[in-house]
Amino acid sequence: MDIAIARPEIIIDEQPRQQHRWDIFLQLNFAVPAAVLLVVVLMAIFAPQISPYDPLQTSLTERLQPPAFAGGAHAHVLGTDKLGRDVLSRIIWGSRVSVTVALSVILVTSVIGTALGIVGGYIGGWTDGTLMRVTDISLAFPGILIALLLAVTLGPSLTTVVLAISLLGWAPYARLIRGEVLKLREADFVLQARIMGCSAPRIMRTHIFPNIVNPLLILATLFLGAVILIESALSYLGAGIPPPTPTWGSMVADGRSLIDTAWWISFFPGLAIGMVVLAGNFLGDWLRDRLDPRLRQI
């Protein structure tokens, strides 16, 4: 009589494998955009050393040369524009304008928005109501039109671009920080500090501000791409940095009339804008997943 021996089934847990794949995705989601932004920052810092040509040097005998991989000369890797200027050199020098404007605007808007958000959220009452109504009005205005109006009124310059973008750029910070402060002002450590006699400025500075750094950092990273996009739009429309200073937006504008015959003039600076904007958004999403305690618990 045959006796059937039951063989235990080997169950392979798929959870560790799926978790490993998710960790790899998160690492790539940080490493790739961080590498793109690092390259842009290094280009901006070391532009005089790594730029193969002077971005303002013209040569009509070498005008409209295609990129090296499209049959052009190897001396100009990304080709030349209608004045014979090297496209790669202008992209490298244009990164200086984008990085300078982005860092300046983020610094100004984050400081103003954070200060107003903390004051309004902690003090409350008519102070909070007044600040939030001003914030709502700022959010209601189309930012690009206000920036265009201010840039045209004051004249195109680096200072004007920073001021034009910062004029309404503080409002998202104020709205976000105010919401975080409304939750923190009723926390136990804030109530204990109030009972111990700490003044309102000290509580806002030493107890509330350190607890809003994470959302502030996330919003600043996400705002990076928006600032560069607005600066490029202003330069494209002729209300940004005046020529002959190379900017990515003005380079795209220079090649729009030649897009069918000299596509590389607009394509490569447009590609640089798109890569930086996407890198800022992806990095902001990664920071949100890492720094938001509510998402870490999911």
Q: pLDDT confidence of 290, banded at 50, 70, 90?
A: confident
Q: For residue 240, is it within any domain?
A: yes
Domain with 197, as residue range(s), is 112-296
Q: Enter the pTM of the model.
A: 0.83
Q: For residue 32, is it within any domain?
A: no
Q: For residue 186, is it within any domain?
A: yes
Checking if the pLDDT of 40 tops 70, the result is yes
Q: For residue 22, is it within any domain?
A: no
Q: For residue 54, is it within any domain?
A: no
Phi, psi of 280 (to 5 degrees): -65, -40
Question: Tens of pLDDT along 134-150?
Answer: 998 888 888 778 878 88
Cα(194)–Cα(155) distance, integer angstroms: 49
Q: State the average pLDDT over residues 57-65.
A: 88
Q: What is the pLDDT of residue 201?
A: 87
Q: State the average pLDDT over residues 16-33.
A: 63
What's the total number of domains in the chain?
1
- CATH number of the domain where residue 264 is located: 1.10.3720
Q: For residue 86, is it within any domain?
A: no
1 is written with which tokens? 């009589």
Cα(223)–Cα(240) distance, integer angstroms: 19
67 is written with which tokens? 């990129």
Q: For residue 16, is it within any domain?
A: no
Nearest to 246 by CA among 66, 45, 47, 74: 47
Q: For residue 173, is it within any domain?
A: yes
Question: Tens of pLDDT along 255-284?
Answer: 888 888 889 999 999 999 999 999 999 988
